[in-house]
Amino acid sequence: MKSLVYAVAAATALSASFGAFAQSTVTRAQVRNELVQLEQAGYKPSQASPHYPADILAAQARVNAQADNSGYGVQPAPVVQGGAPAAKVQNPRDSVYFGH
């Protein structure tokens, strides 16, 4: 009985993961385009680098920085400054003792 439960659980988990992969298809042209952009940003996939994750992440950051300067795409995040109350301009007429 336990083996049947494990088999059903495994089948459910595997079938759920296939749906996630089907939602995001990437064409060969898109992959080639991304690779060309990374190579233009300084990443060399043909070289064996001891700093593998760092060098490709740096190239991706340069590609993203270039994309942000183009004027198209996502909007920059709004700048929110917090942590201090807004300063109120003091007016002598607003004093508690005004007119007394």
Token pair of 100, please?
Answer: 């007394």
Residue 97 is inside which H or E element, if any? none
CB-CB contact of 55 with 38 (8 Å): no
Query: What percentage of residues in the chain have a pLDDT greater than 90?
Result: 0
pLDDT, tens only, 28-75: 888 899 889 888 888 888 887 787 888 888 888 888 887 655 555 566
pLDDT at residue 91 is higher than 70 = yes
